[in-house]
A and B are shown apart, each in its own frame.
Chain A
Amino acid sequence: MEPLVNVASVSRKFPLDHSFVSALSHASLEVEAGEFLAIAGPSGSGKSTLLNLIGCIDKPTEGHIELDGVDTSKLSPGQTTALRRRKIGFVFQTFNLIPVFTAAENVEFPLLVQGIGAGERRRRVADALESVGLSARANHRPDLLSGGERQRVAVARAIVHRPALVLADEPTANLDTKNATQLIDLMRDLNQRLGLTFIFSTHDARLLEHTPRIVRLCDGQIESDTHAVVLAGAGMVGGSNG
């Protein structure tokens, strides 16, 4: 079966003064549909760059990325926008909610962009907010929500249009340990209940305990790709590919 994401020897260089700095170097990665994958590594290791490239909000300098069988490097800007709209959900480090919208309106936004009718939007927003446990806070604006709640709204927004892939760039960086753990648990729960594919980045090793697959980056290169074997009722045991 074809992987959902196929990162094929991708590099990304950024211009710096009169030379280039390499943020990612010949990274290759395959992600199957329904996986829950963490990209770990210290700051500057290339985690955000890799997620941006997979999320089609940046273009690789070398190599190519296939998403759901589509070579994203061959898409026009309009096609790339449409691909992101339909197939990808984003969760950001700083939540990035629209401050003048309520929680429900924020979650509704991706559906609005897709041109889905009002009735269907209402139903899906209610489902998404319920799935993150925030039905009661639907009409609150972001400034009236706690950090953890804001990020759960962001997760609801990322899954409301049932994307093939949810990308979360350091989603716990602005949360305390308790909220961070709860958020990762929530994402894992959504992954298992709804079969959604999650790729998230983190530099916090404590959050990786319940993550079945961990890709470690260092200096723009994939250092290891660890698959855990899930033992019923007994946590996970690691096994490395990288």
Chain B
Amino acid sequence: MGKFLLLAFRNVFRNRRRTVMTLLMVGGGVAGLLLAGGFFAYMIDGLREHTIQEGLGHLQIFTAEHFRRDETRVLDTGIDNWRQVAATVKSGSHVRGVAPRIEFYGMVSNGAKSSVFMGSAVEPAAESSLGFTPRLSSGRDLSAKPDGEVEALIGAGLARSMGVHMGDGLTLLAVTSDGALNGVDVQIAGIVKTGYDEMDARYLRITLNSAQRLLQSDRVTNLVVGLDATANTDKAAAELAPRLKGTAQPMVLKKWIDLAAYYLQVRNMFSGIFLFLGLIVFFMVLMASVNTLLMAMFERTREIGTMLAMGTPRLWIVALFMLEATLTGALGAVAGVVGGNLLGALINASGLHMPAPPGLTVPISFHVLHLPALMIGSSLIVIVSLALASVLPAIRASRLQIAEALAHV
């Protein structure tokens, strides 16, 4: 077996120029997949952490009622005793903190012009302890002190459409939990750019106390839980779920992945693009290699005839050709992995940025992740491709008529 492998290995380097060309093609395919896949993985990972850090958190706790029906009045499916629930959750391992939230909507007016807002009420101290800091284009975050209760952050698009600036006063109008109309005056502390134009046109953030005063309720919509690492999400969820069973209101624990619809859409899209790229590389390597391997087979016709004459089983000839192709694939994969990682490191060091994609207002840094799973997967694609490409030449070689093959010039 060792000699057989040696024969295959030496045959790979018999025609050095052709082998180098094949290795360049195979290595180029692998490197391309590593760069594309590494960049996609960076974008997906970045989007995941961005989504979590933008305020989604790793886990969220709602009342079970919240998912059973739509609210007829604001916060009527909210959490009553949320301080007690928060305290229960905070004692869990991997939990960094818990931030209560109220999601609400209403009208915002500056006296001259009104607009609709999608509001989020937060405890500034809890949010900042979890690293959930709004992306401010100007001004500052909501104050954690009592004076923060008259402050608001608004989206850049909303500020533009309302014609307001930092320090200007606004009146917020919303329907209370009793169905009455209520209003509260706030001052703009900062302008936020979320990165999404549609969000910026409706964004408003005030403190939890302001919102509870506006909505006339002590409830919160949900509790956002921040963990020490995204990788611990499943472990923490498994630990916390039983603790929530003893609460007065039935509770539901949602993981970030269950709530990140946009992230899932993007991830699926990139997976589809990567699969398509993988197929292109697979067929490119397959078609180019069939031709190369057929040429190699024709060149070695007399040698194959000699081996067959000496009583070499035809299956050995098939195995020899397939082994040579697989070795070529493996060597090409190694070259591709080395080349792809070097190129990736160069790109990462260059600090390049991609233009902002549609819907986003910030450019994306061009960074490539070095993922072992991607290296193994890309290598397997080309190795399998070459092994398949060798089937036809291998079968042709094994079926040669010995007398004709020996007379081949």
Contact = CB atoms under 8 A, between A and B. Distances in A.
A114 to B, nearest CB: 8
Interface in B1-48: 3-4, 6-7, 10-11, 14
Contacts of B307: 98, 109
A57 B310 contact: no
The 4 closest A-B pairs by CB, nearest first: A85-B311, A100-B10, A57-B402, A96-B306
B14 A99 contact: yes
20 contacts: A52-B403, A55-B309, A57-B406, A78-B313, A81-B308, A82-B311, A84-B309, A84-B311, A86-B311, A90-B309, A90-B310, A94-B302, A96-B302, A96-B306, A96-B406, A98-B307, A101-B10, A110-B310, A113-B313, A157-B310
B312 interface: yes
Interface string A90-122: 101010101111000100111011100000000
Interface residues of B, number: 23
Nearest to A113: B312
Interface of A is mostly: helix
Nearest to A77: B314
A81 B306 contact: no
Given A92-B406, A96-B302, A100-B7, A113 B311 contact: yes
Given A98-B7, A100-B10, A57 B311 contact: no
Given A78-B313, A84-B311, A96-B406, 5 more contacts: A96-B305, A98-B303, A98-B306, A99-B303, A100-B11
A58 interface: yes
Contacts, number: 64
- Looking at chain B's contact residues, the main secondary structure is helix
Contacts of A82: 311
Contact of B303 (A81, A96, A105): A96
Interface in A50-105: 52, 55, 57-58, 78, 81-86, 88, 90, 92, 94, 96, 98-101, 105
Interface in B80-132: none
A185 B306 CA distance: 24
Contact of A101 (B7, B311, B312): B7
B276 interface: no
A112 B311 contact: no
B127 to A, nearest CB: 69
Given A85-B311, A100-B11, A90 B306 contact: yes
Contacts of A99: 14, 303
Nearest to B13: A100
B339 to A, nearest CB: 27
